[in-house]
């Protein structure tokens, strides 16, 4: 005998019902808002109370059809609090549709016969350890799959198929829930080949499913996850120290003097307007003094701090800003040619302003990859690899730790590039690196500390210029003027001016 379909109702887990003992009015307290309801009869009050405990069948709680209609009208006032579920038989819960935002509205639909359906290419299936979770950046709902029937249905929707061929009642009711939640999409018409709106939407064409999901889950508005400075670990101190202690031989770096920096730095406008030109590096290598000044002015630890509200959490302050003072980045210097430094891979200690030698055997692999990534004719003299210790952010921030790392990364790389230009070094970003290669050479666990970017660094190429055709618009002569100003500043620094 075929199991009967059961429509079930409940509230989100964060909803609770409060009754005013004097007036009898009800208040539904939810994640985003409170909803006040007029006094209700005991049967409806009991139904609302039981909805906070889990899915119920309205017919089992409210025998009077009039009461069920009245409750349905009440629930229309708070659709973002209501979870719609479906089961087969009294003990088989199959799926639940959970609203994720205050704007979420759910109306089950019936699949149109002969009109192909498939799983949305933006839908992702994960597990929280107890049940499957189906989500899409295009949907304001999460579908929780409690049983194998729903998972089996998904397995049949990898390619377009008419609904009557993939499921018979009551599984077609599950399909209707998935359609209404936006996890399954229907073709535009019944004529082959099947065409789907999400495939032809020019806006969606610019997004990959992974990138769009990342965007919606690291911003507010389309999810219900924790977000912001939520301190997921509670009151414990950060999992990672503010500075990684050195374990190998170290090399002290020269430190610039404030008076010399002020005397020889070119104006900020000249640095900003400088045109990178062709990414070529000459025979003359940079020096340990150049590298020391670059790292000192951009990445050293200026102070160690303990916030008043988290006295066990050690933070720091450095020349570039970082979210919450967490500073998750580590800098590794790969030396190919640098006067005063032996070839090898070093880790920068921003507190001691020194380099720790990690290996002399690994530069070639990283340098060759950087030359390709930065479109260089050969390995750069220096390569600064930036990694992130992600737990420096995740101990404090929920839902946006990784996106904060990416934003802070831009500030660091830009600071490195600007200061390099100011002191007479040419630099070139080398993004899109091989995280496995970097972890292998640097000796890190990519899950805990992974490379995010790199900057190729060398001396300015006097040949200069590039082969790009330029059509003057706004201040097109400024880069040439900046170049002349920078040349004078660089000659003065080297004692030639």
Structural domain total, the chain: 2
245-295 residue pLDDT tens? 988 899 999 999 999 999 989 999 999 998 765 445 655 789 999 999 999
Final residue before a domain boundary, out of 167, 194, 217: 217
329-357 residue pLDDT tens? 999 999 999 999 999 999 999 999 999 99
The answer to whether residue 349 is domain-embedded is: yes
> Could you tell me if 258 and 139 lie in one domain?
no
> Could you tell me if 209 and 261 lie in one domain?
no
> Could you tell me if 323 and 202 lie in one domain?
no
Residues 6 or more apart whose Cβ sits within 8 Å of residue 223: 100, 101, 216, 217, 399
47-101 residue pLDDT tens? 999 999 999 999 999 999 999 999 999 999 999 999 999 998 767 899 999 999 9
- Supply the pTM of this predicted model: 0.89
The answer to whether residue 233 is domain-embedded is: no
Q: What percent of the chain has pLDDT over 90?
A: 73
Residue 398 backbone dihedrals phi, psi, to 5 degrees: -105, 130
Q: Cα separation of 52 and 326, whole Å?
A: 39
Query: At residue 1, does pLDDT exceed 50?
Result: no
The β-bridge partners of 35 are 28
Query: At residue 235, does pLDDT exceed 80?
Result: no
Q: Which two tokens stand for residue 420?
A: 């390099």
pLDDT number for residue 280: 56
Mean pLDDT of 394-401: 91
Can you spell out the DSSP letters for 419-487?
HHHHTT-EEEE--S--HHHHHHHHT--TTTEEEEEEEEEEPPPTT----------SSTTHHHHHHHHHH
Which 8-state DSSP code applies to residue 185?
Answer: E
Query: At residue 497, does pLDDT exceed 50?
Result: no
Final residue before a domain boundary, out of 160, 194, 217: 217
Q: Which two tokens stand for residue 313?
A: 């959490």
pLDDT number for residue 248: 87
Residues 6 or more apart whose Cβ sits within 8 Å of residue 328: 240, 322, 388, 389, 390, 392, 393, 405, 408
> Could you tell me if 30 and 79 lie in one domain?
yes
> Could you tell me if 412 and 271 lie in one domain?
yes
453-493 residue pLDDT tens? 999 998 766 554 556 677 888 988 898 899 889 888 888 88
Q: Which residue has the tokens 């889950």?
A: 217
> Could you tell me if 210 and 255 lie in one domain?
no
The confidence band for 37, taking pLDDT boundaries of 50, 70 and 90, is very high
The answer to whether residue 139 is domain-embedded is: yes
Q: Domain with 298 in it: what CATH number?
A: 3.40.109.10
Query: At residue 34, does pLDDT exceed 90?
Result: yes
The β-bridge partners of 88 are 5
Q: Which residue has the higher pLDDT, 459 or 324?
A: 324
> Could you tell me if 267 and 204 lie in one domain?
no
176-185 residue pLDDT tens? 999 999 999 9
Residues 6 or more apart whose Cβ sits within 8 Å of residue 246: 347, 349, 352, 354, 356
> Could you tell me if 210 and 291 lie in one domain?
no
> Could you tell me if 192 and 289 lie in one domain?
no
The answer to whether residue 231 is domain-embedded is: no
Q: What angle do CA 358, 361, 365 make, to 5 degrees?
A: 105
The answer to whether residue 241 is domain-embedded is: no
Q: Cα separation of 89 and 86, whole Å?
A: 10
The answer to whether residue 469 is domain-embedded is: no
Q: Cα separation of 362 and 359, whole Å?
A: 6
Residue ranges making up the domain that contains 124? 5-217
> Could you tell me if 319 and 428 lie in one domain?
yes
Q: Cα separation of 7 and 171, whole Å?
A: 13
> Could you tell me if 346 and 450 lie in one domain?
yes
Final residue before a domain boundary, out of 193, 217, 241: 217
104-136 residue pLDDT tens? 999 999 999 999 999 999 999 999 898 999 999
The answer to whether residue 224 is domain-embedded is: no
Residues 6 or more apart whose Cβ sits within 8 Å of residue 410: none
Which 8-state DSSP code applies to residue 377?
Answer: S
491-495 contacts: CB < 8 A, separation 24 or more? 492/264, 493/264, 493/423, 493/424, 494/424
> Could you tell me if 107 and 213 lie in one domain?
yes
Q: Cα separation of 449 and 329, whole Å?
A: 9
Count of C-beta atoms within a 10 Å radius of residue 435: 14
The answer to whether residue 167 is domain-embedded is: yes
């Amino acid at each position: 005998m075929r199991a009967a379909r059961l429509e079930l109702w409940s509230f989100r887990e964060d909803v609770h019902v409060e009754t005013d003992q004097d007036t009898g009015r009800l208040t539904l307290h939810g994640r985003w808002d409170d909803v006040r309801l007029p006094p209700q009869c005991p049967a409806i009050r009991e139904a609302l109370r039981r909805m906070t405990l889990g899915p119920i069948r309205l017919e089992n709680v409210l025998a009077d059809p009039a009461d069920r209609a009245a409750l349905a009208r009440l629930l229309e006032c708070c659709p973002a609090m209501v979870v719609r579920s479906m089961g087969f038989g009294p003990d088989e819960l199959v799926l639940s549709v959970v609203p994720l935002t205050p704007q979420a509205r759910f109306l089950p639909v019936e699949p149109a016969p002969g009109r192909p359906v498939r799983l949305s290419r933006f839908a992702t299936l994960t597990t929280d350890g107890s049940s499957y979770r189906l989500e899409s950046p295009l949907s304001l709902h999460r579908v929780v799959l409690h049983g194998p029937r729903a998972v089996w249905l998904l397995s049949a929707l990898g390619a377009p198929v008419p609904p009557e061929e993939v499921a018979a009642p009551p599984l077609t009711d599950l399909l209707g829930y998935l359609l209404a939640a936006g996890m399954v999409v229907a073709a535009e018409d019944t004529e082959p080949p099947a065409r789907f709106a999400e495939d032809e939407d020019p806006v969606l064409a610019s997004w990959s499913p992974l990138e769009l999901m990342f965007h919606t889950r690291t911003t507010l508005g389309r999810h219900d996850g924790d977000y912001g400075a939520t301190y997921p670990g509670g009151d414990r101190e950060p999992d990672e120290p503010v500075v990684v202690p050195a374990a190998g031989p170290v090399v002290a770096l020269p430190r610039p003097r404030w008076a010399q920096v002020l005397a020889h730095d070119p104006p900020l406008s000249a640095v900003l307007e400088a045109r990178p030109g062709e990414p070529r590096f000459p025979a003359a290598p940079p020096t340990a003094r150049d590298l020391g000044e670059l790292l000192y002015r951009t990445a050293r630890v200026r102070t160690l701090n303990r916030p008043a509200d988290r006295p066990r959490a050690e933070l720091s302050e450095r020349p570039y800003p970082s979210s919450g003072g967490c500073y998750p980045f580590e800098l590794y210097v790969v030396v190919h040619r640098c006067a005063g430094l032996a070839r090898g891979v070093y880790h920068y200690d921003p507190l001691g302003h020194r380099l720790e030698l990690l290996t002399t055997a690994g530069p070639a692999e990283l340098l060759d990859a950087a030359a390709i990534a930065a479109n260089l004719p050969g390995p750069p003299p220096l390569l600064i690899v930036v990694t992130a210790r992600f737990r420096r952010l995740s101990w404090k921030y929920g839902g946006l730790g990784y996106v904060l790392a990416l934003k802070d990364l831009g500030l660091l790389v830009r600071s490195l590039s600007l200061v390099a230009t100011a002191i007479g070094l040419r630099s070139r970003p080398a993004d899109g690196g091989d995280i496995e290669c970097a972890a292998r050479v640097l000796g890190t666990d990519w899950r805990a500390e992974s490379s995010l970017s790199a900057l190729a660094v060398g001396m300015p190429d006097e040949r200069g210029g590039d082969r790009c055709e330029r059509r003057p618009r706004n201040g097109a002569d400024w880069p040439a003027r900046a170049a002349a100003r920078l040349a004078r500043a660089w000659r003065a620094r080297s004692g030639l001016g």
